[in-house]
Amino acid sequence: MSTVETITKAVAQIGDGPLREAGLIEHIHPLFSRVLARNQCTNEIYLANHSLGRPLDALSDDVQECLDAWYTDIDGAWGPWIAERETYRAAIAALIGCARPDAIVPKTSAGQGLRAVLNALPTTKPNIVTTRGEFDSIDFILKACAHKGRASMSWVDADQQGMFHPQSIIDAITDQTDLVVVSMIVFATGQIIEGLERIIAAAHAHGALVILDGYHAFGVIEIGFEQLGADFIIGGNYKYTRGGPGACFLGIHPKHLSQSGGVPEPDALFTTDTGWFAKQDTFGYTRTDRPAYAPGGDAWLEATPPAITYFQARSGLALTNALGVDRLRDYSLHQQQLLQTMLTDAKIPPRILDHHGAFTILAVRDGPVCIEKTKAAGVNADGRPCPTTGVFHVRLCPDILSTADELAQAVDRMAPIIRPMLATD
Ligand SMILES: Cc1ncc(COP(=O)(O)O)c(C=O)c1O
């Protein structure tokens, strides 16, 4: 049975209703026997699912399939490799709510997706509005561009609690703004930035484009990218979709895709992060004096692509699509609520945000020490200092492999460590 058939069958067995622990244990946990075998030989409870997602057993077989094609068919492997690239694009398109799979461009990092957009803007020194809460990779790329004189930045701050407000972002957008870069869910706190529609509408009204960082939203909440109307989205499979490193993407709103391809006007929206896979006739080896791009989203492809990442991400994407983001979201909120109650009862109350993603946060002092001690006590969690307030938040993310018993045990282990280290307002 193929990976997708195995997953489809397992998901069918849990039925259509809300996800429940018993059904997940019976039908879905067996798809993870390798990673769950750790539970027998280590004492660790894994709650860093918001960081590196846990892989299905099928992942190693899928990667093997990619390599086997190379051993047996040598260059004939490009057939199945490119076919898997298209499967990868279609699975991501389905997950983010985009009708056109070709609007998804495989990238090896989210940052690479951002650079492709920066290098597509009609101006060489764009005015960019972004927040102080973007993930380090994105923040660093933007600062590097500004330092080299290739961007002019407007930074939007959070409030005193480290929360971002749509109005502050809207207020920073002017007629001079070329691009707005904003996370859907803030990596350090899990805050869902509400009012994206308003931010996008304001940007468009001022003639600016919007790129969403959807990394912490991908596989967590319904994104509805096409309907939302943002121009671009970046994300990756490292976290919630269990696809490991290197399997990222840039999504381009279909309204920006050219139907016919060809040579764009120099001031049009086309990227110089390019290569022969973006050419109109990749394998024709014909050359034109000016760059003739492929039609549609293929114009955003670039040089010889990796193949393994498409296979690596196959099982996690198939599982996420089969379970459905809406059901995963409901289950995640249910688990987080349970965890939050347990934390509060254990006198280590979490910080509960009105709208948050897949993890729950605890504000602590001496963050790195706290994480070290927590890990030594058998709870694998992580944490980040809030980029604006400096407050360190431990991040706790249960997933479909986490049981209620594990959450209770994790709280028991963490409570004596965290209680004396809790940050007070
Ligand atoms: C919000 C967000 N964006 C992007 C990334 C990763 O960026 P990159 O793929 O460029 O390393 C992360 C990783 O944790 C993240 O949390």
- pLDDT, tens digit, for every residue of 53-105? 999 999 999 999 999 999 999 999 999 999 999 999 999 999 999 999 999 99
Structural domains present in the chain: 3-57+324-419 (3.90.1150.10), 64-319 (3.40.640.10)
Residue-wise pLDDT tens digits, 147-176: 999 999 999 999 999 999 999 999 999 999
Q: Where are the alpha helices (DSSP H) in 238-324?
A: 308-323
Question: From the CA of 265, how far away is ligand 1's center (Å)?
Answer: 32
pLDDT at residue number 83: 98
The per-residue DSSP string of 193-210 comes to: ---HHHHHHHHHHTT-EE
Task: Measure Cα distances from 411 to 156, 216, 327 in Å.
Answer: 36, 24, 25
- b/e per residue 1-20 (b: at least 16 CB within 10 A): eebbebbbebbeebeeeebe
Question: From the CA of 110, how far away is ligand 1's center (Å)?
Answer: 6
Question: From the CA of 395, how far away is ligand 1's center (Å)?
Answer: 15
Residue of minimum CA distance from atom 13 in ligand 1: 135
Among 141, 191, 215, say which to mutate for ligand 1: greatest number of ligand atoms within 8 Å of CB.
215
Residues with CB under 6 A from ligand 1: 109-111, 135, 137-138, 183, 187, 213, 215-216, 236, 248
pLDDT at residue number 425: 60
Question: From the CA of 214, how far away is ligand 1's center (Å)?
Answer: 9
Among 130, 134, 136, 137, say which to mutate for ligand 1: greatest number of ligand atoms within 8 Å of CB.
137
Question: From the CA of 250, how far away is ligand 1's center (Å)?
Answer: 12
| For the CA of 186, the nearest atom of ligand 1 | 1
Question: From the CA of 137, how far away is ligand 1's center (Å)?
Answer: 6
Picking from 77, 133, 141, the residue whose alpha carbon sits closest to that of residue 107 is 141
Q: What is the mean pLDDT of residues 249-261?
A: 96
Question: From the CA of 248, how far away is ligand 1's center (Å)?
Answer: 10
pLDDT at residue number 424: 78
Dihedral sign computed on CA atoms, order 380, 26, 327, 317:
positive
| For the CA of 236, the nearest atom of ligand 1 | 9
pTM for the structure as a whole: 0.98
As a 3-state breakdown, the chain gives helix, strand, coil percent values, each rounded to 5, of: 45, 15, 40
**260 with 296: CB under 8 angstroms?**
no
